[in-house]
């Protein structure tokens, strides 16, 4: 289970960042008092526009950055108190952690699997399974830098699933993928869900959230403005589809400002 209790993350901007965001305020609240619970056997989707705070939230869960306020429990372990325990339980995919371009997919897989102290036999087994599923066996000996975007993304996915984590945290997993490759990835996430794992993804693609996620949390400006199953969100916003629902919520929020 992932339990986020009143998470707030405030970044301190440097001069360049302040200039770029045309502000004189050095503090940027990226996530603002956000709480949510995601459970094993479900795909929870964080849906929100650019800059909503999706990546920041997932990075806090994954112990990459520290919350400013609030607590996050991953399988019962608080992220700031027991970060190593949390890291053992999760597989974290994000666009801004790149695999080293000089090494082969094969090498990176072994490297990460060994970090998780997996025995050699198990590494071989998992590699066979994941490389076959994602169709990367023929590319396994290529350097990361020689791979296409889609192949690179699939390699990154295989590597972060090496240790067969119970909790899968994927930041925009289908970013830059064509529809065939994207479907390959989302089908795998459904398979993990059906095996009873907890999957949490971020996306700004409405159709992906509609089709993939069991529950959706809509975040705007760092705050969760609605959460529920697709039918519940459509019902509560009196909308035909998620895009309509999103705009209803977005406009009512911007109207308040
Ligand atoms: N390291 C950082 N330093 C300062 N500000 C940051 C940093 N990372 C993110 N931000 C700011 O925090 C806010 C939330 O960013 P975040 O990357 O979490 O959003 P996101 O929902 O993932 O957006 P996107 O859809 O573009 O990936 C944005 O205003 C962003 O500019
Ligand atoms: Mg992001």
Q: Which residues form the pocket of ligand 1, taking CB atoms under 6 Å from any ligand atom?
A: 11, 13, 17, 28, 30, 48, 50-56, 204
pLDDT tens digits for range 182-239: 999 999 999 999 999 999 999 999 999 999 999 999 999 999 999 999 999 999 999 9
Question: What element of type H or E holds 30?
Answer: strand 27-38
DSSP string, 119-156: -HHHHHHHHHHHHHHTT-GGGTTSBGGGS-HHHHHHHH
Q: Which residues surround ligand 2, an ion (CB under 5 A)?
A: 54-55
pLDDT tens digits for range 76-129: 999 999 999 999 999 999 876 667 788 999 999 999 999 999 999 999 999 999
Order of strands, sheet of 2-12, starting from the edge strand that comes earlier in the sequence = 27-38, 2-12, 69-74, 77-78
Q: Is the pTM of the predicted complex or chain greater than 0.85? A: yes
Written as six digits, the tokens of 140 are: 């396994």
Q: How far apart are CA 30 and CA 19, in angstroms?
A: 17
| Cβ-based neighbour number of residue 237 at 10 Å | 18
Residues in the chain: 257
């Amino acid at each position: 289970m992932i339990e986020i209790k009143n998470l707030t993350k405030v970044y301190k901007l440097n001069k360049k960042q302040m200039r770029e965001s045309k502000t004189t305020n050095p503090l940027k609240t990226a996530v603002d008092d956000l709480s949510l619970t995601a459970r094993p056997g479900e795909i929870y989707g964080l849906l929100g526009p650019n800059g909503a705070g999706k990546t920041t939230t997932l990075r806090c869960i994954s112990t990459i950055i520290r919350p400013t306020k609030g607590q996050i429990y991953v399988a019962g372990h608080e992220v700031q108190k027991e970060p190593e325990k949390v890291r053992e339980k999760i597989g974290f995919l994000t666009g801004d952690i790149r695999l080293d371009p000089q090494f082969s997919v094969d090498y990176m897989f072994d490297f990460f699997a060994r970090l998780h102290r997996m025995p050699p036999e198990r590494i071989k087994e998992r590699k066979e399974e994941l490389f076959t599923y994602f169709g990367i066996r023929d590319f396994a000996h290529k350097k990361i830098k020689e791979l296409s975007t889609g192949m690179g993304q699939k390699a990154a996915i295989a590597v972060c699933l090496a240790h067969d984590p119970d909790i899968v945290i994927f930041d925009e997993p289908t970013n830059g993928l064509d529809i065939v490759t994207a479907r390959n990835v989302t089908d795998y996430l459904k398979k993990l869900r059906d095996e009873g794992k907890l999957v949490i993804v971020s996306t700004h693609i409405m159709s992906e959230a509609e089709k993939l996620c069991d529950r959706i949390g809509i975040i705007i400006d760092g705050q969760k403005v609605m959460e529920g199953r697709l039918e519940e969100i459509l019902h509560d916003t009196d909308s035909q589809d998620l895009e309509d629902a999103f705009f209803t919520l977005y406009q009512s929020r911007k109207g308040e400002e």
